């Protein structure tokens, strides 16, 4: 049985494309008339991408390309005004596309608002990650959005220079004290720890305004994006538990000093410092426990290679176990 390269659900007989569930395909692309195969190869992308990536962000080594659905139903590159973003796996990080796809679907499974995404193939068969842009309104205008690095008014080379405590306080300030948004933020930090994503930095957390908001405050976090099981890469295994320190000035809890790694106690302390109920963390851990079998199934169904799946499963098992330490006291 084939699994959908968008939803990871079983693809039923009679589906238009053998690797895609019709409903999932239409949800992402809006139509079944779109080709899931790109009209160019990976090597052609590498050769020609410079003329299309002007103005597009390049995060580290992860090059991105803006796409539209052209008149012939192909996903084609454009300089501006794209509906989708294409991210091939960097040569330094093979199967990053498949890795990010799985991590994003699990984020959605656990109730986090998450960007719509899937996998499409280059003409030579290599898979690439594609996501629908969420920074555009229905009329094509740009949605008012600001990442936390901009919120701190800092340069891009300082995206690791604050703590999650400080970032959470900034979320509180920028949303006029909306604790529901701070709670959502807390869940995203916890999720990053669960999957071993050690790159949740200030540019990977953004706030958005609703279309009718005329104030200078923000309404919510943007959909979750740029989630990966970074621990599955040997070159990143020593990156640490988090992209940022948990607490201001590099403070640690007594429990962290005792165990040598973050446990539920640390997230409870983060809740207290952000002035949100500790039950926010406990309930999220309880949800993960209840959906653990689904998380495991999603990793196993993913298009990551077996060794990468094994490491991802090991990380989730280990992190969920230690997050339960102190979580329900």
C-alpha–C-alpha distance, residues 213 and 219, integer Å: 8
| Per-position DSSP letters for 278-294, written without gaps between them | THHHHHHHHHHHHTHHH
Q: Which residues pair with 147 in a beta bridge?
A: 206
Burial (0-12, 13-18, 19+ Cβ within 10 Å), 60: exposed
With 0-12 / 13-18 / 19 or more C-beta atoms within 10 angstroms meaning exposed / middle / buried, residue 210 is exposed
Rounded CA gap, 207 and 224, in Å? 10
Q: Which string of DSSP letters, residue by residue, matches 75-103?
A: EEE-SS--SEEEEEPPTTSTTHHHHHHHH
Q: Which of 268, 266, 272, 264 is nearest to 251 (CA)?
A: 266
Six-digit token pair at 174? Answer: 């920028």
d(CA 258, CA 266): 12
Provide the β-strand partners of residue 65: 86
Q: Is 113 a catalytic residue?
A: no
Q: Which of 108, 199, 226, 266 is catalytic?
A: 199
Q: How many Cβ atoms from other residues are within 10 Å of residue 276's Cβ? A: 19
Active-site positions?
199
């Amino acid at each position: 049985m084939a699994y959908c390269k968008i939803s990871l659900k079983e693809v039923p007989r009679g589906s238009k494309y053998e690797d895609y569930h019709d409903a999932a395909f239409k949800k992402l692309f809006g139509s079944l008339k779109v080709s899931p195969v790109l009209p160019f190869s990976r090597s052609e992308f590498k050769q020609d991408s410079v003329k299309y990536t002007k103005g597009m962000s390049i995060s580290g080594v992860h090059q991105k390309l803006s796409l539209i659905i052209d008149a012939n139903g192909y996903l084609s590159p454009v300089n501006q005004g794209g509906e989708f973003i294409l991210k091939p796996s960097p040569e330094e990080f093979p199967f990053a596309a498949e890795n990010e796809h799985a991590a994003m679907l699990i984020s959605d499974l656990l109730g986090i608002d998450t960007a719509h995404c899937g996998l499409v193939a280059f003409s030579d068969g290599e898979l690439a990650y594609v996501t629908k842009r969420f920074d555009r309104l229905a009329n094509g205008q740009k949605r008012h959005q600001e990442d936390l690095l901009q919120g701190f008014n800092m340069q891009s080379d300082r995206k690791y220079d604050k703590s999650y405590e400080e970032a959470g306080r900034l979320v509180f300030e920028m949303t006029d004290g909306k604790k529901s948004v701070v709670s959502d933020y807390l869940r995203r930090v916890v999720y990053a720890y669960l999957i071993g994503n050690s790159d949740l930095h200030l540019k990977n957390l953004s706030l958005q305004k609703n279309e009718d908001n005329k104030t200078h405050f923000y309404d919510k976090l943007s959909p979750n994006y740029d989630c990966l099981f970074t621990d599955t890469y040997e070159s990143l295994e020593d990156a640490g538990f988090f992209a940022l320190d948990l607490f201001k000035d590099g403070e640690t809890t007594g429990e962290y000093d005792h165990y040598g790694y973050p446990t539920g106690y640390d997230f409870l302390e983060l809740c207290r410092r952000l002035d949100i109920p500790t039950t926010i963390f406990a309930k999220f851990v309880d949800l993960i426990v209840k959906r653990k079998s689904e998380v495991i199934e999603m990793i196993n169904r993913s298009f990551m290679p077996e060794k990468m799946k094994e490491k991802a499963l090991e990380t989730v098992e280990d992190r969920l176990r230690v997050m339960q330490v102190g979580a329900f006291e």
